[in-house]
């Protein structure tokens, strides 16, 4: 549900939240990302950085340059801005993924849990474009929306201590990709050779909020090939512009 | 120029500056010195830019050998710093000479000391900052805490014409009972009236889970109206998150950039240094203030640093 007017919430003396709605909804998320884009173009003195999330934009500011009341008024005005061109044409990016086996040790569980065959789970997972609502939590982690509830699965009761970078997982009705080796409790169904986070690149995250991801099933041999190309910087993302 | 060799790193010694901005949209936290006041004061004393990279030394045990004559300033926690075994003053410029040993043997008060070095520590900037974020191995020295045998390089420094000190009126006292001023929100409406009352009237204890990401507190649980979970949103510095167990967590420089727990309040920025100098077992109380009072507090804080500078000239 989109609010009639954006709500302003306080985040202490140096941050303000602009909240556009009460649910996870692509329309609400567009408003959030649009305000982030507008703030990139129309530089407001005193605004330090912004963090777009599902339904709100967190705006960090320097109170010695702009006071909170002035900033709320400016943000209220900018929140009415028409949609930016970049927003209208999101990228659809292919994420090559090996499903199952040692790459996705929980694929079988997800299939059994949902009374589906393994190829059926893969088909349902790879068939859908997923909207990246936001990047957050840890460097480069995309929060994806749009997974079929038919392949939902609960988190592991005991999280794994170590999950390889690039692991593709399912937790309840969400799917996601681990950008770096880390502990975690998601059911792992596959792994991508793409590198989601590279601190020396600009931008450092491979994907951006507003992009759509599309998983494609590849073989372990292709995984090795793509991994090689990624490591050598010779891999170019397979992406198309969505109309 | 090679200025120091790490003989003993201590439990957690990292290179920090005032933080990395513009990358939270990619999930990368600002990092930077937890105690902004002590950090900036240190740089003032050795005539550096206030954001020059310095060491953040946690607890005790760090030992450094001087490789090159230079000037330093030790600020923040009292780790009973010595130079060749003799005590040296904190909050004051100290000349050091080749082959001398600078040690931080014992914790007397506070939790983190800062070592500012004339010229500033020279490591590559990553995403515009030299701050270390160990979790993603970014910044500082190879993205990690210092190790035995590491060499610290500094940029060429202007020769220091005189020693300086921060005047007594500007020195913080690090107690084991502190009061943190908060602005309620963003999700204070997710708590019962009784919950807000509990939050503002109870003493909380810093738990063992207190690090650069955040401080988990123990004490009376704060009841929610309904749920502890929200749709994930941004996490400002000082946000007081209250998960399902009702116990508050105050988020600091290395916090995750977004989170899905209700946030009852935010600690104002100028009170973060005080929290950063507490350690497990210390007592914390929260006091509610208004947005305007927070602005006044920030003006006072900046004026204090400004005049600390004057008095140090």
Residue-wise pLDDT for B253-308, tens only, equals 999 999 989 999 999 999 999 999 999 999 999 999 999 999 999 999 999 998 88
Same domain, B192 and B259: yes
Average of pLDDT values for A194-223?
A: 93
Given a contact cutoff of 8 angstroms between Cβ atoms, the answer to whether B139 and B21 are in contact is: no
B136 lies in a domain? Answer: yes
Does residue B130 share a domain with residue B187?
no
Single residue among B169, B189, B221 that ends a domain in this structure:
B169
Of B26, B184, B239, the CB nearest to A139: B26
Residues of B whose CB is below 8 A from A11: 185-186, 234, 236, 239, 263, 266
Answer whether residue B267 is part of any domain.
yes
Identify the structural domains of chain A with CATH numbers, from first to last: 2-80 (3.30.1360.40), 91-241 (2.40.100.10)
Nearest residue, CB atoms, B26 vs list A13, A54, A205: A205
Minimum distance, in Å, between the CA of residue A122 and any CA atom of chain B: 28
Q: Which residues numbered 24-43 in B keep a CB inside 8 Å of some CB on A?
A: 24-28
| pLDDT value at A86 more than 80 | no
**Per-residue pLDDT, B201:** 97
B259 close contact with A: CB closer than 8 A: yes
- The residue of B129, B258, B265, B306 whose CB has the most chain A CBs within 10 angstroms, and thus the best one to mutate to test that interface, is B258
Instruction: Indicate whether B134 belongs to any domain.
Output: yes
Residue of A nearest to B299 (CA): A64
The answer to whether residues A25 and B202 touch, using CB atoms and an 8 Å cutoff, is no
At residue B309, the pLDDT reads 67
Say if residue B160 is in the same domain as residue B225: no
- Report how far residue A165's alpha carbon sits from residue A179's, in angstroms, rounded to the nearest whole number: 5
**Residue where one domain finishes, among candidates B169, B191, B209:** B169
Q: Domain check: are B88 and B199 in the same one?
A: no
Q: Does B313 reside within a domain? A: no
pLDDT category, A222, cuts 50, 70, 90? very high
**Residue A78 reports pLDDT greater than 60:** yes
B169, B200, B235: which is the final residue of a domain? Answer: B169
Q: How many CB atoms lie within 10 A of CB A23?
A: 11
Residue B162: pLDDT over 80: no
Whether residues B84 and B7 fall in one domain: yes
Task: Say whether both B115 and B213 belong to one domain.
Answer: no
Whether B230 has its CB under 8 Å from any CB of chain A: the answer is no
Note the pLDDT tens digit of each residue in B57-76.
999 999 999 999 999 999 99
| Domain count for chain B | 2
Residue B213 falls within a domain, yes or no? yes
What is the average per-residue pLDDT within B90-112?
Answer: 96
Residues B63 and B203 in one domain: no
Q: Please give the Cα distance from B200 to B266 (Å, whole number).
A: 12
Q: How far is CA B293 from the centre of its chain?
A: 23
Domain assignment of residue B104, yes or no: yes
The per-residue pLDDT of chain B, averaged, comes to 95
Six-digit token string for B112: 């983190």
Under a CB-based contact definition with an 8 Å cutoff, are residues A29 and A21 in contact? no
Tell me, what CATH number does B224's domain have? 2.40.100.10
- The pLDDT of residue A138: 85
B218 and B138 belong to one structural domain: no
- Mean pLDDT, chain A, whole residue set: 93
**B92 falls within a domain:** yes
> pLDDT at residue B311 above 60?
no
Q: Which residues contact B89 (CB under 8 A, 6 or more apart)?
A: B74, B165
Is A143 an interface residue toward B (CB < 8 Å)? yes
Q: Do residues B298 and B181 share a domain?
A: yes
pLDDT at residue B313 greater than cutoff 60: no
Predicted confidence at residue B122, as pLDDT, reads 97
The pLDDT assigned to B279 comes to 96
Pairing of strands B70-78, B62-66: unpaired
Least confident range of A104-113, A151-160, A219-228 = A151-160
Residue range A168-196: average pLDDT?
Answer: 92
For chain A positions 188-217, those within 8 Å of chain B (CB to CB) are: 197, 199-200, 203-205, 209
Q: Is A53 on the interface with B (CB under 8 A)?
A: yes
Q: Same domain for B191 and B225?
A: yes
B90 and B162 assigned to the same domain: yes
For the segment A233-240, the average pLDDT, to the nearest whole number, is 91
Residue A76 belongs to what H/E stretch?
helix A68-78
- Structural domain that includes position B130: 2-169
* Cβ atoms < 10 Å from Cβ of A129: 15
- Give domain status of residue B103, yes or no: yes
What region does B64 belong to: left with phi over 0, alpha with psi -120 to 50, or beta? beta
> Quick one: which of A204, A195, A177, A202 has its CA closest to A232?
A195
Q: Is B275 found in the same domain as B141?
A: no
pLDDT, residue A185, reads 86
pLDDT interval class at B161 (50, 70, 90): low
Residue B236 to residue A12, Cβ atoms within 8 A = yes
pLDDT, mean of residues B190-199: 97
């Amino acid at each position: 549900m989109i609010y009639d007017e954006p709500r302003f919430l306080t985040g202490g003396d140096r941050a303000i939240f602009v909240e556009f709605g009460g649910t996870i909804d692509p329309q609400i998320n567009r408003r959030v990302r649009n305000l982030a884009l507008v703030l990139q173009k129309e530089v407001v003195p005193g605004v330090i950085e912004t963090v777009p999330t599902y339904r709100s934009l967190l705006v960090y500011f320097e109170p010695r340059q702009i006071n909170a009341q002035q900033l709320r008024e400016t943000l209220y005005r900018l929140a009415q801005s028409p949609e930016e061109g970049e927003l209208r044409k999101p990228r659809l990016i292919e994420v090559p993924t090996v499903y199952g086996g040692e790459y996705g040790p929980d694929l079988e569980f997800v299939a059994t849990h949902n009374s589906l065959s393994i190829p059926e789970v893969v088909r349902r997972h790879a068939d859908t474009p997923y909207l990246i609502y936001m990047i957050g939590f840890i460097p480069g982690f995309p929060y994806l929306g749009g997974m079929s509830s038919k392949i939902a699965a609960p988190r592991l009761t005991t999280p794994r201590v170590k999950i390889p970078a690039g692991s593709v997982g399912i937790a309840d009705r969400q799917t996601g990709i681990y950008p770096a080796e880390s502990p975690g409790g998601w059911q792992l169904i596959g792994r991508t050779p793409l590198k989601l986070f590279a601190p020396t690149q600009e931008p450092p995250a491979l994907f951006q909020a507003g992009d759509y991801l599309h998983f494609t099933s590849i073989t372990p041999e292709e995984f090795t090939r793509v991994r090689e190309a990624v490591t050598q910087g010779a891999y170019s993302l397979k992406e198309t512009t969505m109309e | 120029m090679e200025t120091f060799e790490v003989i003993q790193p201590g439990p957690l010694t990292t290179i920090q500056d005032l933080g990395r901005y513009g990358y939270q949209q990619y999930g990368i936290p600002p990092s930077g010195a937890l105690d902004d006041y002590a950090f900036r004061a240190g740089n003032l004393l050795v005539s550096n830019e206030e954001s020059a990279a310095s060491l953040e030394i946690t607890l005790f045990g760090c030992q450094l050998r001087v490789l090159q004559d230079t000037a330093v300033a030790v600020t923040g926690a009292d780790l009973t710093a010595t130079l060749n075994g003799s005590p040296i003053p904190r909050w004051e410029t100290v000349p050091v000479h080749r082959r001398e040993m600078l040690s931080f043997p014992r914790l007397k008060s506070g939790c983190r000391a800062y070592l500012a070095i004339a010229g500033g520590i020279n490591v590559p900037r990553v995403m515009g900052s030299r701050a270390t974020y160990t979790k993603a191995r970014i910044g500082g020295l190879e993205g990690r805490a210092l190790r035995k045998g590491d060499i610290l390089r500094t940029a060429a420094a202007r020769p220091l014409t005189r020693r300086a000190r921060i005047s007594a009126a500007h020195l913080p006292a690090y107690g084991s009972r502190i009061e943190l001023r908060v602005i309620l929100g963003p999700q204070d409406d997710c708590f019962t009236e009784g919950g807000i009352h509990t939050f503002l009237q109870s003493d909380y204890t810093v738990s063992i889970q207190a690090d650069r990401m955040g401080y988990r507190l123990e004490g009376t649980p704060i009841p929610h109206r309904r749920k502890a979970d929200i749709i994930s949103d941004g996490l400002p510095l000082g946000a007081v998150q209250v998960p399902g167990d009702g116990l508050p967590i105050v988020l600091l420089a290395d916090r995750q950039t977004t989170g899905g727990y209700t946030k009852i309040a935010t600690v104002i920025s100028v009170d973060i240094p005080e929290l950063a100098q507490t350690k497990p077992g210390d007592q914390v109380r929260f006091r509610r203030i208004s947005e305007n009072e927070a602005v006044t507090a920030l003006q006072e804080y900046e004026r204090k640093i400004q005049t600390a500078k004057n008095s140090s000239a």
